[in-house]
Amino acid sequence: MTHIPLTLTVNGRPYDLLIEPHWTLLHVLRAEIGLPGSKANCLEAECGACTVLLDGKAVNSCILLAALCRGRSIITIEGLGDPEHLHPLQAAFVKHGAVQCGYCIPGMILTAKSFLDEHSERTPSREEIREAISGTLCRCTGYQKIIDAIVAFAAAHPEEQGPAHAP
Amino acid sequence: MRPNQNVVAGQRLPRLDGAVKATGRFVYGADFALPGTLYGKVLRSTLPHARLKRICASRALALPGVRAVIASADVPAARYGNAIKDQTVFATDIVRFIGHPLAAVAADTLEIAEHALAAIEVELEPLPPLYDPEAALAPGALLLHPGWQSYTALPVIARDGNVAGRSRMRHGDVDAAFAEAYRVYEHRFTTALQHAGYTEPRAASATWDSTGVLTVWSNGQLPFEVQATLSDILQLQPSRIRVVVPGVGGGFGGKLRIGVEHFAALLARASGRPVKMVTTSEEELTAAHPRQAAIITLKTGVTRDGRILAREGRVIVDCGAYSGSGPGVGAVALQCLYGPYRTPHYRLESLAVYTNKVPAGSFRAPSGPMANFAVESQMDMIARDLGIDPLEIRLRNVVQEGDLGPAGEVLRDVSIEECLRRAADAIGWHDRMTTPGRGKGLACSWWMTTGGSSGVFIKLNPDGSVGLTSGAVELGTGALTGAAQVLAEELAIDLEDVRIAMVDTQHVPYDYGAQGSRTAFSVGNACRAAAANLRAQLFALVAARYGLPAEDMRLHQKCVVAGDKRIPLSEIASQQYTGGGLIAHGTTLNPPSAYDAGRVENHPLPVWNTPSFHAHAADLSVDGETGEVTIHRYVVAQDVGYAINPTYVEGQIEGGVSQGLGQALSEEIVYQDGRVLNANLTDYKMPTSLDMPPVESILVEHASAAGPYGAKGVGEPPCIEPPATVANAIAAATGLWVQSLPITAEKILLGLRGESAA
Amino acid sequence: MSFSLHRPSSMAEAVALARQFGESARFIAGGTDLIIQINRKQQSPAHLIDLNGLPGLAEIEETPHGFRIGALTTHKTIERHPPFQGPLRALAEAARVVGGHQVRNMGTVGGNIANASPAADVVVPLLALDAEVSLVDPDGARVLKLADLLLGPGHTARHTHEVIDGIAFARLPAHSATAFLKAGRRKAMEIAVVCVAARLTLDARGLCAEVGLALGAVNAMAMRATEAERVILGRLPGVELFREAGRLAAQASRPISDVRASVRYRHLLVQALVPRALQLCVDRIGEART
């Protein structure tokens, strides 16, 4: 088992790590860096609970080798906002009853953010938003209030949104 | 009964744990780890039925980083179980399903633990397997539990060989009624195993202290039951077992029974170190607690105008290798099969049967969807045959206030007719066009609000906040926020003033558990009782201080109002008039309802506490060339008694419908020769956002006598009707009834073409 | 389970490493198939060669001949590429249904082809477009028709030390359209039960001048339904003709029964989806004219 040095930029901060080449970004975030907000479930890119933003795009961190993230920007749910300073998208989720058990929610919020940023030139329709989250499974909500929250956020914030506070 | 002001209760307030969850700061059981923890893994059988001849851990123990390896010889020879204590931690001499635990390993890392599993030597001698519950019932069938008579079981359970439980409900003379009937219909329905599908895997961390007291951090639904089961397994008094619950990422009944807590505890004892265990996706689909597969036969005799005269029904529930929740689930199927209908004569029987597959559990409204699929599909078949509108035939038969239920109990707060009419109106029932391939269907049911006891402690803090300590676990439903809304309403404070404590069996009051749609109901009631106690204390203190009569006092906007005086609660709390602060206790226990014992045999839950009533309707299209179903609209009218928080009540409906639609259209754990073929989320098909139609929730509020402000249990019912609703809508669209779940596009297409499925 | 990770910065370096490590090495692009296979112990390479540092492989170029998609182009890029929203729409339609957005942001078309799942979505319209795949090895380069590259489930004609660097196909003539349809057990996150891509060109008289019909998930690899194509050529589009094509395509397919669907159902789906895909092409050609 050979460790290789790796510097990762997560939520705007650099982390100097010694990792094994086969470690996934999810494992490194949770076990090495101490950011457990990205969740572990299927570990096979089938549920989206592990979703983070890589250079602004939603990816499944459970199958992404940490070593391939050198020099790229990683945003986790912790980087979007905290309980005292909610990002408006997080606030919308809370306000619209989109959070039940909450285990899918970090992945769901970042999936939504990635899609909205990808379409920042316009406000996507409800059906487009429904499709945007189709790679992130929720077992509690039936998706309805999650979509309500994203629709409400998109209507109220047509411009691209960065993190709630400088990391 | 309803609150005076509905200032907090009844409002769409954001849940108390919403912000911490939405920012990734909430700690779930699967996130939790103790310093110095080891990681545990379970070795599981790869044969469905075999004699365990030899198991040897020496090679595994020799691997660097392996700290303990245990098998049945290393653990007390104890049996545990819910209805029947038939289960052991590891297979002892007989292996009974693929996935049966054989041994467990604790190691420095998960990877080492996985290598260690491969190094454990196991010798299995295959035995002939039994997969089909009907074959298991046949005379002369192989006995899967030759020692079944030596197991202890609840006295109410009737067992015999491969039958883990038989229950009956009956009344009248069914055979005479069939003879008199205008027509008698007989149908057979089958349903598949369904995974509870919670997004957070089952997890536990365990550690022993130097006095031999065990602490387990568990993400299960019933910490007191975990404590009791661990007590059985470890042969330890419950007072030496402490169960703490960090956050839970969904349960749905799949986290009811013990998950991995016992492995973690045993490995921690063997290694002398804390141990963390988390299940994998594959383990969740092969060795969890899924919804039983069922076979239902239903025979119904009716009059010319569609009134039910008699019903004869049998539900066979496939328990799997151990009884699990099977006997109780089978029994409860009978009430669902009876339905919310007046039935003068009935003879209903359930059989929970052992087979060599995963032991099944108590997934949301256990047995409800299966029995409802049968009774409501058949109702529509009868309606079609007699030329009666499906809504009309139901209205002719539904129970009314004061009617007797299947155990002869008096039914109160009956609202099924209103639910049916409102669901039908909302879907546009009287506006059904005959577009080929498009149809509307409906289905209705009733369900219990599980009783059981709950207690809470509340504590008024000097800053005016109130601590709420209960033994109930928040699964995600929002039930604890709901209970807190009741408490806040009673104390005239804001919801945000309530602080909910973590569940720790060492110091929380006993709670029967987050199951059976009972949490908001029971904890809400306990909160009302505690609030009354606290009010009395507050008024007595103010009376003594100011010389004013307590009877004239009330609480308003965080103050005690006494005449023209307004004394803030925070002021009273900070005065420390009494030792230890202002603490109150509240409990609730629903008294059992009267019933006719002559109608019931060996039924663990013969009467449903505070039943709810509900109706669903769907408008869908079927693609005649591919069989694919597209649901345009889905409507639910559910009697919730009183909506403590309409947002989260709707959330239960929307989520329950999604699970029900999954069971209806795409979900099944597929077994072939005792092995699960689709043990991953690629091929176990839960609904994605694109599979869900818009769901309209109509909250009918027909207050209950016993619930807080008239509330009834809300969580389970929404998953009951979707399979039948969809089946009936598909039949309306195509003329075809599919009598097995899931109703896949393939079954529909082949059915439309008159071809039988592969 | 660990491996050595190599990060070449040029194609020459990448293929040299591949030759050096031979069968014990695998290339990694998006990793959406490879990492899952490694986790499931279906592959255990001792070396991974990271292609993501190689320049110029993630672009879609328009060439005099037609289009060239770099092997590292993600499904998301294909899905959103403006020139693929018109007559070449089948490419976007197929890319759009690969996994969810997360997988599409990472998974590459080169990786998808090399993985050679018989149910791969984007492979099917590429096949209908007569795509050609260019491969590079330490000694040079070669071009293979996609149809000749795919040999079976997980099996291609690519040598271990070859890198797929791009996929090219010819520009469509005027009055052409494409369409892609997929059937599954649910409406997203699906491995196709059956998928179909059609390419159709109508001549001045409205007759079918050129056609490509490709099927996925109904054989050991994605396939062209050549008898069905032959029956369409030179004829006027119509319901009965397209149904005949569907029947011929179903007859030519060789699906298996698995946990997703039976042989019979897959045959019926081919019969249903082929005519629909062809009709969609006709409708799209008509729309473009108005």
Is 90 exceeded by the pLDDT of residue B374? yes
- C-beta atoms of A46 and C105 within 8 A: no
Q: Is C48 on the interface with A (CB under 8 A)?
A: yes
Distance CA A97, CA A72 (A): 34
Q: What is the mean pLDDT of residues B487-516?
A: 96
Cα–Cα distances (Å) from B598 to B402, B477, B595, in that order, read 19, 38, 9
Region of C189 (left: φ > 0; alpha: ψ -120 to 50; beta: rest) is left
Enumerate the CATH 3.90.1170.50 domain ranges in chain B, comma separated: 32-128+199-250+255-287
Q: Is C256 on the interface with B (CB under 8 A)?
A: no
- CB contacts, 8 Å: A2 with chain C: 2, 4
Enclosing H/E stretch for C188: none
Enumerate the CATH 3.30.365.10 domain ranges in chain B, comma separated: 18-27+452-590, 294-398+413-449+595-752
Q: Residue A32 — very low, low, confident or very high, per pLDDT cuts 50/70/90? A: very high
Distance CA B383, CA B392 (A): 9
CB B27 within 8 A of CB B248: no
* From B23, B199, B689, residue closest to A147, measured CB to CB: B689
Q: Residue B408 — very low, low, confident or very high, per pLDDT cuts 50/70/90? A: very high
Q: Which residue in B has a C-alpha nearest to residue C257's C-alpha?
A: B758
Neighbours of chain C (3+ CB pairs under 8 A): A, B
pLDDT digits (tens, 9 = 90+) for B207-266: 999 999 999 999 999 999 999 999 999 999 999 999 999 999 999 999 999 999 999 999
The one-digit pLDDT tens for each residue of chain C (290 residues) are 689 999 999 999 999 999 999 999 999 999 999 999 999 999 999 999 999 999 999 999 999 999 999 999 999 999 999 999 999 999 999 999 999 999 999 999 999 999 999 999 999 999 999 999 999 998 999 999 999 999 999 999 999 999 999 999 999 999 999 999 999 889 999 999 999 999 999 999 999 999 999 999 999 999 999 999 999 999 999 999 999 999 999 999 999 999 999 999 999 999 999 999 999 999 999 998 77
Q: Which residue in A has a C-alpha nearest to residue C106's C-alpha?
A: A59
Cα–Cα distances (Å) from B195 to B256, B286, B676, in that order, read 13, 9, 12
> In B592-703, which residue ranges form alpha helices assigned H by DSSP?
646-665
| SS3 of B413-481 | CCCHHHHHHHHHHHHCHHHCCCCCCEEEEEEEEEECCCCCCEEEEEEECCCCCEEEEECCCCCCCCHHH
**C-alpha angle A31-A37-A40 in degrees, rounded to nearest 5:** 65
Is 90 exceeded by the pLDDT of residue B434? no
- C-beta atoms of A22 and C2 within 8 A: yes
Number of CB pairs, chain A paired with chain C, less than 8 A apart: 85
pLDDT digits (tens, 9 = 90+) for B123-149: 999 999 999 999 999 999 999 999 999
CATH assignment, B18-27+452-590: 3.30.365.10
Instruction: Give the bridge partners for B458, in sequence order.
Output: B468, B584
CA dihedral A132, A136, A138, A139 (to 10 degrees): 130
Distance CA B92, CA C11 (A): 58
B452, two tokens: 């059981």
pLDDT digits (tens, 9 = 90+) for B44-80: 999 999 999 999 999 999 999 999 999 999 999 999 9
Q: Residue A165 — very low, low, confident or very high, per pLDDT cuts 50/70/90? A: very low
Instruction: Give the bridge partners for A82, in sequence order.
Output: A85
A89 closest CA partner among A101, A99, A80, A79: A80
Cα–Cα distances (Å) from C96 to A149, B166, C85, C187, in that order, read 24, 51, 12, 12
pLDDT digits (tens, 9 = 90+) for B671-712: 999 999 999 999 999 999 999 999 999 999 999 999 999 999
What Rg do the C-alpha atoms of chain B give, in angstroms?
Answer: 27
Picking from A1, A23, A65 by the largest number of C CB atoms within 10 A of its own CB, the best residue to mutate is: A65
Cβ neighbors of B108 (< 8 A, separation 6 or more) are B38, B39, B65, B67
- C-beta atoms of C186 and B678 within 8 A: no
Q: What is the mean pLDDT of residues B490-501?
A: 97
Is 70 exceeded by the pLDDT of residue B621? yes
CATH 3.40.50.1000 is right for the domain spanning B32-128+199-250+255-287: no
**Percent of chain B residues topping a pLDDT of 70:** 98
**Percent of chain C residues topping a pLDDT of 90:** 96
Neighbours of chain A (3+ CB pairs under 8 A): B, C
Cα–Cα distances (Å) from B625 to A25, B270, C265, C275, C282, in that order, read 44, 60, 10, 11, 20
- CB contacts, 8 Å: B693 with chain C: none
- C-beta atoms of C3 and A21 within 8 A: yes
Q: What is the mean pLDDT of residues B183-202?
A: 98
Instruction: Determine how many CB atoms are found less than 10 A away from the CB of residue A93.
Output: 31
User: Exposed (0-12), middle (13-18) or buried (19+): which is B488, by Cβ within 10 Å?
Assistant: buried
B183, two tokens: 């027509």
The confidence score (pLDDT) of residue A164 equals: 45
Is 90 exceeded by the pLDDT of residue B5? no
B113, two tokens: 């633990």
Cβ neighbors of B443 (< 8 A, separation 6 or more) are B372, B376, B379, B615, B616, B721, B724, B725, B728
B532, two tokens: 């009354």
- CB contacts, 8 Å: B110 with chain C: none
The confidence score (pLDDT) of residue A167 equals: 41
CB B609 within 8 A of CB B704: no
What is the DSSP code (8-state) at residue B346?
Answer: E
Q: Is C279 on the interface with A (CB under 8 A)?
A: no
- CB contacts, 8 Å: C100 with chain B: 688
Q: What is the mean pLDDT of residues B713-739?
A: 98
The confidence score (pLDDT) of residue B210 equals: 94
Q: Which amino acid is at B88?
A: T
For residue B742, is the peptide bond before it cis, meaning its omega torsion is within 30 degrees of 0?
A: yes
What is the DSSP code (8-state) at residue B508?
Answer: S
pLDDT digits (tens, 9 = 90+) for A64-121: 999 999 999 999 999 999 999 999 999 999 999 999 999 999 999 999 999 999 999 9
CATH 1.10.150.120 is right for the domain spanning A88-158: yes
The confidence score (pLDDT) of residue A134 equals: 97
Q: Which residue in C has a C-alpha nearest to residue A61's C-alpha?
A: C102
Between positions 56 and 115 of A, the ones with CB within 8 A of C are 57-60, 63-65, 67-68, 111, 114-115
Q: Which CATH superfamily is domain A4-79 in?
A: Beta-grasp domain (3.10.20.30)
Q: Which residue in C has a C-alpha nearest to residue B686's C-alpha?
A: C186
Enumerate the CATH 1.10.150.120 domain ranges in chain A, comma separated: 88-158
Min Cα distance A88 → chain C (Å) is: 22
CATH classification (class only), B294-398+413-449+595-752: alpha beta
Global pTM? 0.97
SS3 category, B568:
strand
How is A6-50 classified by DSSP, letter by letter?
Answer: EEEEETTEEEEEEE-TT-BHHHIIIIII--TTS--SSSSSSS-TT
Q: Which amino acid is at C137?
A: D
The confidence score (pLDDT) of residue B227 equals: 97
* From B23, B250, B689, residue closest to A133, measured CB to CB: B689
Between positions 109 and 128 of A, the ones with CB within 8 A of B are 109
CB C124 within 8 A of CB C183: no
What is the DSSP code (8-state) at residue B610?
Answer: S
ipTM of model: 0.97
The confidence score (pLDDT) of residue C1 equals: 61
- CB contacts, 8 Å: B678 with chain C: 259
- CB contacts, 8 Å: A22 with chain C: 1-3, 38
Distance CA B138, CA B351 (A): 13
Instruction: Give the bridge partners for B217, in sequence order.
Output: B205, B244
Enumerate the CATH 3.10.20.30 domain ranges in chain A, comma separated: 4-79
B384, two tokens: 């079609």
